[in-house]
Chains A and B, each alone.
Chain A
Amino acid sequence: MRRVITGNQAVAYGVILSRVDVVSAYPITPQTTIVEELSELIASGRLKTRFLKVESEHSAMAALIGASTGGVRTFTATSSHGLAYMHEMLHWASGARLPIVLVNVNRAIGPPWNIWGDQSDSVSQRDTGWIQLYCENNQEVLDTILQAYLIAETVRLPVMVVLDAFVLSHTAEPVEIPSIEEADSLLPPFCPDYPIDTQEPRSYSVITTPDYFLEFRYKVQKAMEEVPEVAKKVDDEFRSRFGRSYGAIERYGKKEAELLLMTSGTVTSTSRIVIKKLMEKGLSVAGIKIKRFRPFPSEEICEVIQGAKKIAVIDRNLSAGVGGIFAQELRASLYSREERPQVFGFVSGLGGRDITPALIEEAVQYTVEHPQPEGDILWLGLKK
Chain B
Amino acid sequence: MKKIEIPPEENLGHGHLACAGCGAAVAMRLTLKALGEKTVMVFPASCWSIVPGFWPYSSYRITAVHAGFVTGAATASGVRAALDVRGDDETLVAVWAGDGGTFDIGLQALSGAAERNEDLLYICNDNEGYMNTGTQRSSATPLLAWTTTTPVMQPKENPKKDIMAIMADHHIPYAATATIAYPEDLIRKLEKAKGIQGTRFIHLFSPCPPGWRMPSEQTIKISRLAVRSRIFPLYEIENGRTYTIQEESHVVPVKEYLKLQGRFSHLTEKDIETTQRNVDDTWERLQRRARC
Q: Is the CB of A207 within 8 A of B54?
A: yes
Q: Of B49, B60, B61, B78, which contacts A65 at CB under 8 A? A: B78
User: A383 in the interface, Cβ–Cβ < 8 Å?
Assistant: no
A66-B67, A201-B60 known; A58 vs B85 contact (CB < 8 Å) = no
How close is A70's CB to chain B, nearest CB, in angstroms? 2
Q: Is the CB of A62 within 8 A of B54?
A: no
0/1 per residue, A193-234, Cβ < 8 Å to B?
001111001111111110010000000000000000000000
Q: Is the CB of B63 within 8 A of A197?
A: yes
- Nearest residue (CB) in A for B70 is A58
A58-B70, A59-B112 known; A22 vs B78 contact (CB < 8 Å) = yes
Q: Is the CB of A203 within 8 A of B71?
A: no
Q: Is the CB of B85 within 8 A of A63?
A: no
How close is A46's CB to chain B, nearest CB, in angstroms? 17
- Nearest residue (CB) in B for A26 is B112
State the CA gap A299–B112 with chains docked (Å).
46
User: A69 in the interface, Cβ–Cβ < 8 Å?
Assistant: yes
User: B108 in the interface, Cβ–Cβ < 8 Å?
Assistant: yes
How close is A270's CB to chain B, nearest CB, in angstroms? 40
Q: Is the CB of A63 within 8 A of B66?
A: no
Q: B83 contacts which chain A residues (CB < 8 A)?
A: 70, 196
How close is B60's CB to chain A, nearest CB, in angstroms? 6
State the CA gap A89–B44 with chains docked (Å).
12
Q: Is the CB of A54 within 8 A of B77?
A: yes
User: A182 in the interface, Cβ–Cβ < 8 Å?
Assistant: no
Q: Is the CB of B86 within 8 A of A72?
A: yes
0/1 per residue, B49-92, Cβ < 8 Å to A?
11010110010111111111011011111111111111000010
State the CA gap A52–B49 with chains docked (Å).
26
How close is B249's CB to chain A, nearest CB, in angstroms? 41
User: B111 in the interface, Cβ–Cβ < 8 Å?
Assistant: yes
User: B40 in the interface, Cβ–Cβ < 8 Å?
Assistant: yes
How close is B290's CB to chain A, nearest CB, in angstroms? 31
A54-B112, A203-B64, A207-B49 known; A89 vs B71 contact (CB < 8 Å) = yes
State the CA gap A78–B146 with chains docked (Å).
43
- Nearest residue (CB) in B for A24 is B78
Q: Is the CB of B84 within 8 A of A62?
A: no
A50-B84, A203-B58 known; A58 vs B78 contact (CB < 8 Å) = no
Chain A contributes a number of interface residues (CB within 8 A of B) equal to 41
- Nearest residue (CB) in B for A70 is B82
User: A109 in the interface, Cβ–Cβ < 8 Å?
Assistant: no
How close is B35's CB to chain A, nearest CB, in angstroms? 11
State the CA gap A59–B111 with chains docked (Å).
11
Q: A195 contacts which chain B residues (CB < 8 A)?
A: 82
Q: Is the CB of A206 within 8 A of B52?
A: yes
Q: A15 contacts which chain B residues (CB < 8 A)?
A: none
- Nearest residue (CB) in A for B38 is A198
Q: B76 contacts which chain A residues (CB < 8 A)?
A: 66
How close is A72's CB to chain B, nearest CB, in angstroms? 4
User: A329 in the interface, Cβ–Cβ < 8 Å?
Assistant: no
0/1 per residue, A47-68, Cβ < 8 Å to B?
0001011111011101111111
A55-B115, A201-B60, A206-B64 known; A70 vs B70 contact (CB < 8 Å) = no
How close is B111's CB to chain A, nearest CB, in angstroms? 7
A54-B74, A59-B71, A62-B70 known; A198 vs B82 contact (CB < 8 Å) = no
Q: B78 contacts which chain A residues (CB < 8 A)?
A: 22, 24, 52, 62-70, 74
A56-B108, A62-B67 known; A72 vs B74 contact (CB < 8 Å) = no
Q: A52 contacts which chain B residues (CB < 8 A)?
A: 77-78, 81, 116
State the CA gap A75–B16 with chains docked (Å).
37
Q: Of B38, B61, B75, B116, which contacts A53 at CB under 8 A? A: B116
A55-B115, A63-B81, A88-B68 known; A208 vs B86 contact (CB < 8 Å) = no
Q: A50 contacts which chain B residues (CB < 8 A)?
A: 81, 84-85
User: B10 in the interface, Cβ–Cβ < 8 Å?
Assistant: no
Q: Of A201, A204, A206, A212, which contacts B61 at CB under 8 A? A: A201
User: A71 in the interface, Cβ–Cβ < 8 Å?
Assistant: yes
State the CA gap A169–B58 with chains docked (Å).
47
Q: B52 contacts which chain A residues (CB < 8 A)?
A: 203, 206
Q: A56 contacts which chain B residues (CB < 8 A)?
A: 108-109, 112
Q: A64 contacts which chain B residues (CB < 8 A)?
A: 78
User: A143 in the interface, Cβ–Cβ < 8 Å?
Assistant: no
Q: A153 contacts which chain B residues (CB < 8 A)?
A: none
Q: Is the CB of A196 within 8 A of B71?
A: no
Q: Is the CB of B40 within 8 A of A67?
A: no
How close is B288's CB to chain A, nearest CB, in angstroms? 31
Q: Of A89, A198, A204, which contacts B66 at CB under 8 A? A: A204
Q: Is the CB of A205 within 8 A of B60?
A: no
A22-B78, A62-B68, A67-B78 known; A198 vs B37 contact (CB < 8 Å) = yes
Q: Is the CB of A62 within 8 A of B74?
A: yes
User: A379 in the interface, Cβ–Cβ < 8 Å?
Assistant: no
User: B231 in the interface, Cβ–Cβ < 8 Å?
Assistant: no
How close is A57's CB to chain B, nearest CB, in angstroms? 10
Q: Is the CB of A70 within 8 A of B81?
A: yes
Interface of B toward A, CB cutoff 8 Å: 37-40, 42, 49-50, 52, 54-55, 58, 60-68, 70-71, 73-86, 91, 108-109, 111-112, 115-116
What would 19 more interface pairs be, CB under 8 Å, given A66-B79, A196-B63? Answer: A52-B116, A59-B71, A59-B112, A60-B74, A62-B68, A62-B109, A63-B77, A65-B68, A66-B78, A67-B85, A88-B70, A89-B71, A197-B63, A201-B62, A201-B64, A202-B64, A203-B55, A206-B64, A206-B66
Interface of A toward B, CB cutoff 8 Å: 21-22, 24, 50, 52-56, 58-60, 62-72, 74, 88-89, 92, 195-198, 201-209, 212
Closest 7 CB pairs of A and B: A70-B82, A66-B78, A55-B112, A62-B71, A59-B74, A63-B78, A67-B78
